[in-house]
A and B are shown apart, each in its own frame.
Chain A
């Protein structure tokens, strides 16, 4: 008994000492993180205002009508996408754009993905060779095109070798100077290609890549592959992700783009110059954060070769995709994202704080190291310490509550400001109840969700440090086509 109470006393002293030591730095870290996010949002807001004012004379009609603008190859890697692939391809073929082709790369699907395509588009095999501009792991099995010979659709079949390798095959098959990668379950706005190619059209010599915000589609009404009504999903897990996407992905990345240091373009929808992709060697099939890794490689390549270039972000909501609806899938996704973040940051560690790499090296990368990679460690350690402190009775309750109120209150304020910017610029969620639900989600995010994601991110990091083989899981989706509650279960990369 004496020993136990002595141990508890010692533990109290240790925990108390640690808490006294880290409380203020952690609070400062929290404040700095959110303030930087606020600065990025300010930059994003500035950019939105600029884009909004330009809209009236942007010349979208000319872009659509132009035969001189650059054409686009839309690459769709597909693995077991039988439920959505036909609708997706139909919607892609119907996109408003002067010159675009669709290249579906069937990555060895074990379901009816290819049969669905063959029936819907009357595909016939052709002895078309796929060039080897990029090295790929597995050879192409065959190439199919629609029997009419005119519809700009190419279906390339290959053995299963992963999403990145499939995209590389698609890049090889692409004939247009701009290449966009999208997930088969993404829904695009009819003018998506016009919006995303706009930076290339305005500054064709310097812009090498553009990214767009991908917004959660769960529960939205989709008819024939077209978004017809934006609705907020019912599960709180999805609602919280809506808040997250809005704050971190849309506004955060818009801010980085405005600052001239965008280093991450979502793999669900990114557009690149084909020649640049070939120069840098395409996507790395061994990377788990292949989208991040590709953009970093492009930055390094362009700066090393002293080329004037731009990587830009288009904030207009033109792409929608399903987000995880179960804790299991979300856990796997966040774990993979963080693992990808760590592995890419580590791979390009030589660029961080290196003046040669300008804003990317001096600002963006240090930010990602300090506030994206390390954040879950601090958040989790802080949570454990507070819990331990309460258990041991060494926490000043009023201080702890004020601490949490300030920290989470500030984070909620940042989310609300993100909502203000979205409401003033895009106002996609029109129903009052959706707005109320998003507000509530921004509060609920602090209770359990943040802590859980912090833990899952740490799991991903730890798995990488241990050299554990990355696992691609399965995702259960609703599919699209209508708003029926039927759940289409199919496996895809998560």
Chain B
């Protein structure tokens, strides 16, 4: 059989393919329109009630009763709207919507789905249990932190964070580890979840800061800083000084800037020297500004002329943050010097003036 003989049958196949594709497009478009119109008609009587609950104005509880009595075929269309509202509301509206979900059996169904064979099913279930802050489900969601699917692990961590039970803290730290080629939880997701768990997470953090896994130490340092867990300061100092991982040292420096005291100015100043890596130098310069003690002024002033101009800029900004003594040094640099030191100082002072961070009469544009 030569090419010429094949042409007609190939042409017919292509033609059929084109017609089928057109058919799919037309059917999809018509179907979408019909579904939308039907949903709109079915949900119209309930839309007002949903908005009333979500805006916290259902004082008589009538809207809740109306939505609770919605028949299953209406509820299945209403459900996505309720789920979409949940992450956007707090307090009473969130509780009311959660109760609504519960009354329609969604929580029980989600708990069952946590062991579904479908990863999407497990993730959706964990997401919903997190949305409604179902504290009774913590023990059921925890195993999902070691789920084979990365999505499920991430959603489970977020859900546990939203529920806010500190007993899940060590599980989240464990999920940070990369095992058998499975990438661990993203650090920021774990950190957000831990931060949501409140002060009771402190003992877990202290254990995590001593972990042999740099990812765990790094996340614990982030949480310690953002949550201002002052009790972790000694461990953070040790990490900054001795940790083998650059990222952990940088995170420890940031955290120390937030939780550290006057003594830490000297500790941080040790690491702004040219022998350190750029990232650590810059982080420590910023952290010195966060600590905000006059002991930092000398070290920061010395950085204004550094050949790393970003570092010089950060040092100048930190001097502004320290207050009058830092600002005085910057003003001195602009009046008595020229070149890069003066430029860094002027830039910081100008920005500070624009932001209203300078006292009246100070240098400004």
**Assuming the A-B contacts A128-B351, A402-B11, A424-B28, are A133 and B310 also in contact, with contact meaning beta carbons closer than 8 angstroms in the complex?**
yes
Binds B, one of A235-243, A343-351, A404-412, A445-453: A404-412
Query: B312–A129 contact, CB under 8 A?
Result: yes
Q: Is B217 an interface residue (CB 8 A)?
A: no
Chain B 184-222, CB-CB to A under 8 Å as 1, else 0, gives 001111011001000000000000000000000000001
Instruction: State A303–B189 Cα separation when bound (angstroms).
Output: 28
B350 contact set on A, CB distance < 8 A: 126-128
Query: B14–A406 contact, CB under 8 A?
Result: yes
Query: B21–A131 contact, CB under 8 A?
Result: no
A128 contact set on B, CB distance < 8 A: 313, 347, 350-351
**Distance of A258 from chain B, by nearest CB (Å):** 16
**Assuming the A-B contacts A126-B365, A409-B14, are A202 and B192 also in contact, with contact meaning beta carbons closer than 8 angstroms in the complex?**
no
Query: B354–A124 contact, CB under 8 A?
Result: yes
**Assuming the A-B contacts A126-B351, A129-B347, are A405 and B192 also in contact, with contact meaning beta carbons closer than 8 angstroms in the complex?**
no
Query: A413–B355 contact, CB under 8 A?
Result: no
Instruction: State A149–B4 Cα separation when bound (angstroms).
Output: 73
| Secondary structure dominating the interface of B | helix
B8 contact set on A, CB distance < 8 A: 402
A59 contact set on B, CB distance < 8 A: 127, 154-155, 158
Query: B87–A129 contact, CB under 8 A?
Result: no
Q: Is B18 an interface residue (CB 8 A)?
A: yes
A424 contact set on B, CB distance < 8 A: 24, 28
Closest to A31 in B: B10
Q: Which of A233-280 contact B (CB under 8 A)?
A: none
Chain A 419-449, CB-CB to B under 8 Å as 1, else 0, gives 1100110010000100100010000000000
Contact of A204 among B150, B187, B192, B226 (CB under 8 A): B187
Contact of A402 among B7, B32, B192 (CB under 8 A): B7
Q: Is A393 an interface residue (CB 8 A)?
A: no
Chain B 66-79, CB-CB to A under 8 Å as 1, else 0, gives 00000000000000
**Distance of B355 from chain A, by nearest CB (Å):** 4
Instruction: State A420–B22 Cα separation when bound (angstroms).
Output: 8
Query: B29–A399 contact, CB under 8 A?
Result: no
Q: Is B83 an interface residue (CB 8 A)?
A: yes
Query: B124–A406 contact, CB under 8 A?
Result: no
**What is the number of contacts between chain A and chain B, taking CB atoms within 8 Å?**
144
Q: Is B151 an interface residue (CB 8 A)?
A: yes
A410 contact set on B, CB distance < 8 A: 14
Instruction: State A128–B353 Cα separation when bound (angstroms).
Output: 13
Q: Is B283 an interface residue (CB 8 A)?
A: no
Q: Is A108 an interface residue (CB 8 A)?
A: no
A67 contact set on B, CB distance < 8 A: 226
**Assuming the A-B contacts A124-B365, A412-B18, are A57 and B124 also in contact, with contact meaning beta carbons closer than 8 angstroms in the complex?**
yes
Q: Which of A51-87 contact B (CB under 8 A)?
A: 53-54, 56-57, 59, 61-62, 66-70
Instruction: State A66–B308 Cα separation when bound (angstroms).
Output: 30
B83 contact set on A, CB distance < 8 A: 56
**Distance of B183 from chain A, by nearest CB (Å):** 6
Contact of B183 among A124, A147, A203, A403 (CB under 8 A): A203
Query: A126–B7 contact, CB under 8 A?
Result: no
Query: A131–B309 contact, CB under 8 A?
Result: yes
Q: Which of A276-290 contact B (CB under 8 A)?
A: none
**Assuming the A-B contacts A131-B310, A145-B351, A427-B32, are A417 and B188 also in contact, with contact meaning beta carbons closer than 8 angstroms in the complex?**
no
Q: Which of A281-332 contact B (CB under 8 A)?
A: none
Query: B310–A145 contact, CB under 8 A?
Result: no
Contact of A427 among B29, B151, B189 (CB under 8 A): B29
Q: Is B114 an interface residue (CB 8 A)?
A: no
Q: Is A205 an interface residue (CB 8 A)?
A: yes
B151 contact set on A, CB distance < 8 A: 54, 57
A420 contact set on B, CB distance < 8 A: 21, 24-25, 28
Query: B14–A204 contact, CB under 8 A?
Result: no
**Assuming the A-B contacts A127-B347, A406-B14, are A202 and B150 also in contact, with contact meaning beta carbons closer than 8 angstroms in the complex?**
yes
B80 contact set on A, CB distance < 8 A: 56
Q: Is A150 an interface residue (CB 8 A)?
A: yes
**Distance of B321 from chain A, by nearest CB (Å):** 14
Q: Is B356 an interface residue (CB 8 A)?
A: yes
Query: A149–B310 contact, CB under 8 A?
Result: no
A145 contact set on B, CB distance < 8 A: 351, 354
Chain B 304-336, CB-CB to A under 8 Å as 1, else 0, gives 000011101100000000000000000000000
A435 contact set on B, CB distance < 8 A: 25, 29
Query: A127–B183 contact, CB under 8 A?
Result: no
Chain B 4-38, CB-CB to A under 8 Å as 1, else 0, gives 10011011001101100110110011001000000
A204 contact set on B, CB distance < 8 A: 186-188
**Distance of B202 from chain A, by nearest CB (Å):** 18
**Assuming the A-B contacts A126-B365, A416-B18, A423-B25, are A399 and B4 also in contact, with contact meaning beta carbons closer than 8 angstroms in the complex?**
yes
Q: Is A22 an interface residue (CB 8 A)?
A: no
Q: Is B272 an interface residue (CB 8 A)?
A: no
B340 contact set on A, CB distance < 8 A: 129
**Distance of B365 from chain A, by nearest CB (Å):** 6
Instruction: State A465–B10 Cα separation when bound (angstroms).
Output: 39
Closest to A50 in B: B120
A149 contact set on B, CB distance < 8 A: 351-356
Query: A202–B186 contact, CB under 8 A?
Result: yes
**Distance of B76 from chain A, by nearest CB (Å):** 14
Contact of B18 among A57, A133, A413 (CB under 8 A): A413
Query: B343–A68 contact, CB under 8 A?
Result: no
Closest to B162 in A: A62
Query: A409–B192 contact, CB under 8 A?
Result: no
**Distance of B186 from chain A, by nearest CB (Å):** 5
Instruction: State A128–B32 Cα separation when bound (angstroms).
Output: 54
Q: Is B248 an interface residue (CB 8 A)?
A: no
Q: Is B44 an interface residue (CB 8 A)?
A: no
**Distance of A133 from chain B, by nearest CB (Å):** 7
Q: Is A201 an interface residue (CB 8 A)?
A: yes
**Distance of A176 from chain B, by nearest CB (Å):** 12
**Distance of B195 from chain A, by nearest CB (Å):** 8
**Distance of A49 from chain B, by nearest CB (Å):** 10
A146 contact set on B, CB distance < 8 A: 354
Q: Is A14 an interface residue (CB 8 A)?
A: no
**Assuming the A-B contacts A145-B351, A409-B11, are A419 and B25 also in contact, with contact meaning beta carbons closer than 8 angstroms in the complex?**
yes
Q: Which of A340-395 contact B (CB under 8 A)?
A: none
Q: Is B296 an interface residue (CB 8 A)?
A: no
Q: List 29 A–B pairs whose Cβ atoms lie within 8 Å, in order of A's numbering.
A: A57-B124, A57-B127, A59-B127, A59-B154, A59-B155, A62-B158, A68-B192, A127-B343, A127-B350, A128-B347, A128-B350, A129-B312, A129-B347, A131-B313, A146-B354, A147-B354, A149-B354, A201-B186, A203-B150, A402-B11, A403-B7, A406-B7, A409-B14, A412-B18, A413-B18, A416-B17, A416-B21, A420-B25, A427-B28
Top 8 nearest A-B pairs (CB, nearest first) are A149-B354, A149-B355, A57-B127, A416-B21, A402-B7, A127-B346, A409-B14, A68-B188
